[in-house]
Structure 1
Amino acid sequence: MAYSIKSFEQIRKSILQEYRNTTGITASDDSDAGIRADGTASVVEGLYHHQTYIQRQLFISTADEPYLYIHAEELNLPRLGGSTTTGSVTAQSNVDLTIKSGTKLTDGNGYYWHVINDTYLISGQKTIVNITADQVGASWNFTGTSLLWVSPLAGLDGTATVNNLTGGADSEALEDWRTRLLERKQLGFNRDRKADIVSVMHTISGVEYIYVYPKRRGLGSLDVAITASGKALPSKSLLDTAQAVLDDYAGFWADCRAFAPTERKVDLVATITGISANLTDVEETIKSYFNELEPAQTLQVSTLISRIMALDNVSDVVLSQNSNIVAEVNWMHVEWLRAGNIVVKQT
């Protein structure tokens, strides 16, 4: 049973009752004894609140943010500070030139990336240029097709084609950090459980989902598939970081490998029946369903159809794919079903 903490009024009444019992005075509310009881009750109530505050900080589930850092130090599980988007673009020039490190690119909406290393371009040849975001955060993960050079050199094509820009993550949310601390506290120390592997991989900023496959390449092997924040494939730098963490944690007892799932694009045609049905909503519903799929997860046609049928003015739908699509998982790859060419038309 929880300890019962008295309210201000209950404390005040107890003090006044004690005055009356020991002195025999009436001790009305506006008497000197009543005023002293008010002051004493306020102090006692404050002490009760202080004790409640201290008790709250003792437990991870209720501690305020400053005290979580103390729990984190004990568990050796610091808060993740976020990560920077990295990737590459393809540049082209009609003259030989060198793009200097630090040269900026932008999407035209206030987001900037810069070149990591000096890169030499040969006239007429497409060249891969490695870039990184100017700031930490998931907002710099880019899903478009091109970026613009800021103040391009003479002869340089002002538009660069994006190959990939992923790996950026925001600083860890307070409640996500609290959840990780609770998991570590509950797990204790044991290196060879699946939950332990997932926990240690979650210490890497930018990693979103983790899938553990023991003995995937045979006895003694341990493979871990990861995805990046924003349901994206991990960049090479993120994979390298994950591999280093995995080797340090479990490399002495297993042949470890961190790897990225294999994207499998699924083309789909949806034929809609219904007056005034919004085809854009249907397309967004289909893409949203694909975004929810995790690596190795099966595409359930019946689930997708039910979501489309729930939209306004849709009376029927026929999909070009009439059976479930099973993502293949073997020693070579783990498939991740993603939206390919989505076409929505109306009968």
Structure 2
Amino acid sequence: MFSVPTFQKLHLVIVQEIRNKTGLTISADSDASIRADGTAAVVEGLYQHQNYIQRQLFIQTADEPYLYIHAEELGLPRLGGTRASGTIQATSNIDLTVLAGTKVTDGKGHYWSVVADTQLKANVATVLSVNADQVGASWNFSGSTLLFVSPIAGLAGIATVISISGGSDQEELEDWRARLLERKQLGKDRDRNTDLISKLKEITGIKHVYIYPKRRGLGSLDAAITAVGSPPTLPTQALIKTAQDFLDAEEAFWGDLRIYAPTEQFLNVSAEVSGSSSDLSSVETTIRDYFAELAPAEEYQSAVLTARIMALQYVTDVKLTPSSNVVPIVNWMYTNWIRLGSLAVSQA
């Protein structure tokens, strides 16, 4: 790697050249030394500019504005965010119509709007489709109820949430950089699993892709996808359809290819922690992080989770339930995905 000379080194080289040509004795406060400082500063700036240019030439080191240039060359734009959507149940004590645009809220600054005019019968729970008012993962809702904003007469003010998900933020800069670098390293598309994964990750909202060859028999190739979230969540049917349509439209090598969602297999966990001054919230976070990392078809390993908890400060022992490994069900019909169910952490 080329070694860039320091300012002091540049100054000494210039001063030495002046001495060689004039025979002057140059002190630090002389006119020649001051001029040498100015020249050295300009040369140092030119070196810094060359370093800046060199940094932008490579995906690994390019600044954000120049990544857009690399992305245009590779045909891999940065993924934008998506709006969360889902369904809620509403009830009323009279027949009425809930108009499109009617808003529900969690009371914390997040709003969702009803998609279409919907007729409600008296005392009959009716399903309403809603979309988030803004783009972002913060509008994915995991609670059980939302509040109608200024409900009309007869409409219950509380709505029961069936499911609201699918929202995602703009792609993180380093995630985008990793995709660009992977695409450049892969080169021309071929029939590799990595090519399929790279293609699917071009779709906004997809977090992970897991490839299962011959799942439905010879010649078949299936891909289970998860949706962006913290932790990653199951994809919506709309996202699955988008991914399937995207690949069907591709002039690729894949023939009998099916996109599907894994099946959640919930695991209830309890942990009794020994150790004075041990932080139970850190134990809970460690357990949640472990389950967030599990991929579809990956088994729960109690020894791994126990080791992570034992590595926490002040923890001397832990009694974990389940205490044995749990292998998810995987067959031609189901690809189970172990997820955290209820969690209880207590001091032994």
TM-score by length of 2: 0.89
Q: Aligned residue for 2:155?
A: 156
**What pairs up with 1:1-347 in 2 under 5 angstroms?**
2-230=1-229, 231-249=232-250, 253-268=254-269, 286-307=287-308, 315=317, 317=319, 319=321, 321-342=322-343
Comparing 263-272 and 30-39, the one that deviates more: 263-272
**Distance in 2 separating the partners of 1:142 and 1:328:** 28
**Distance in 2 separating the partners of 1:66 and 1:129:** 42
Comparing 249-258 and 279-288, the one that deviates more: 279-288
**Distance in 1 separating the partners of 2:164 and 2:191:** 34
Secondary structure of the 1:165 match is strand
TM-fit CA distance, 1:148:
0.7
Counterpart residue type for residue 168 of structure 2:
A
Counterpart residue type for residue 225 of structure 1:
A
Secondary structure of the 1:302 match is helix
Deviation readout 1:292-312 (Å, 9 max, x if unpaired):
322111111333444556675
Secondary structure of the 1:67 match is helix
Secondary structure of the 1:161 match is strand
**Distance in 1 separating the partners of 2:306 and 2:2:** 54
**Distance in 1 separating the partners of 2:318 and 2:210:** 37
Counterpart residue type for residue 177 of structure 1:
W
Secondary structure of the 1:46 match is helix
**Gaps (5+ residues) in structure 1?**
none
**Distance in 2 separating the partners of 1:171 and 1:49:** 32
Instruction: Pick closer, same or farther for the CA change 1:280–1:188 going to 2, 3 Å.
Output: closer
TM-fit CA distance, 1:346:
7.7
Aligned residues: 345
Contact 2:273 / 2:347 at 8 angstroms: preserved in 1? yes
TM-fit CA distance, 1:330:
1.6
**Distance in 2 separating the partners of 1:22 and 1:310:** 68
Counterpart residue type for residue 222 of structure 1:
L
**Distance in 2 separating the partners of 1:184 and 1:277:** 45
The Cα RMSD (Å) is 2.6
**Distance in 2 separating the partners of 1:11 and 1:281:** 53
Contact 1:308 / 1:314 at 8 angstroms: preserved in 2? no
TM-fit CA distance, 1:331:
1.6
Contact 1:191 / 1:250 at 8 angstroms: preserved in 2? no
Comparing 7-16 and 337-346, the one that deviates more: 337-346
**Gaps (5+ residues) in structure 2?**
none
Deviation readout 1:143-199 (Å, 9 max, x if unpaired):
111111111121112111111111111111111111111111111112311111111
Name the % identity: 56
Instruction: Pick closer, same or farther for the CA change 1:308–1:62 going to 2, 3 Å.
Output: closer
